[in-house]
Amino acid sequence: MILRLFRGTPTVPFERLYGEIVAQARQPWLYSTAGVPDTVDGRFDMIVLHAFLIFDRLSGGDERAKALSQAVFDEMFKDMDRSLREMGASDVGVGPKVRRMAEVFYGRSQAYSDALRQEGEARRQALIAALARNVFAGNEGADPAAPLADYVLEEHHGLAERPLEQLLSGHAGFQAKALSLA
């Protein structure tokens, strides 16, 4: 585990891609401008959201895309396991917590996927509602979740436009900052 600190920049595509997910989830404007709670749960929600976007894009790909998606998923939950241990969770307590995190991931992913299957303004409104429920702790008004929903729609569109080969090489190409929040 300690050796990971000395490896430098990841060279394996799944590690690079997961690193980009985490880096994007840590963007300060998500917490300051978009209003995501700057808490352990809020940061977890941003990792889940960005991972969902990557998995959604990879889901339309070939076997290489599916294998990359699985490798990123595995890396994400290994990281969650490590993080829980660093925060002091006991060996006995880690398994159930990671299982709960996986359940949360699948639930949120389904909600975001359902929202993104809508058309036009219904899509945006469904995404606002899903983000309000999941990220903004039940505050289902349009105010807190709308900027984040607009950002997610931009990223979703941007990822759909990127060549799959870019992702397969480990580069998501997330925006450094959401254009509509500038």
Name the 3-class secondary structure at 8. coil
Distance in angstroms (rounded) separating the CA atoms of residues 35 and 11: 33
d(CA 46, CA 21): 9
CA–CA dist 26, 94 (Å, integer): 23
Q: What is the pLDDT of residue 12?
A: 81
For residues 9 and 36, give the distance between their C-alpha atoms in angstroms, rounded to a whole number.
28
pLDDT of amino acid 179: 43
Of the chain, the percentage scoring pLDDT greater than 90 comes to 64
Task: Classify residue 136 as left (phi > 0), alpha (psi -120 to 50) or beta.
Answer: alpha
What is the DSSP secondary-structure string of 66-110? HHHHHHHHHHHHHHHHHHHHHTT--HHHHHHHHHHHHHHHHHHHH
Taking the whole predicted model, whether its pTM rises above 0.75 is answered as: yes
pLDDT in tens, 103-138: 999 999 999 999 999 999 999 999 999 999 999 975
User: What one-letter code names the amino acid at 165?
Assistant: E
Q: How far apart are CA 56 and CA 151, in angstroms?
A: 16
pLDDT at 139 over 80: no
Domain boundaries, the chain: 12-164
Backbone angles phi, psi at 38, to 5 degrees: -85, 75
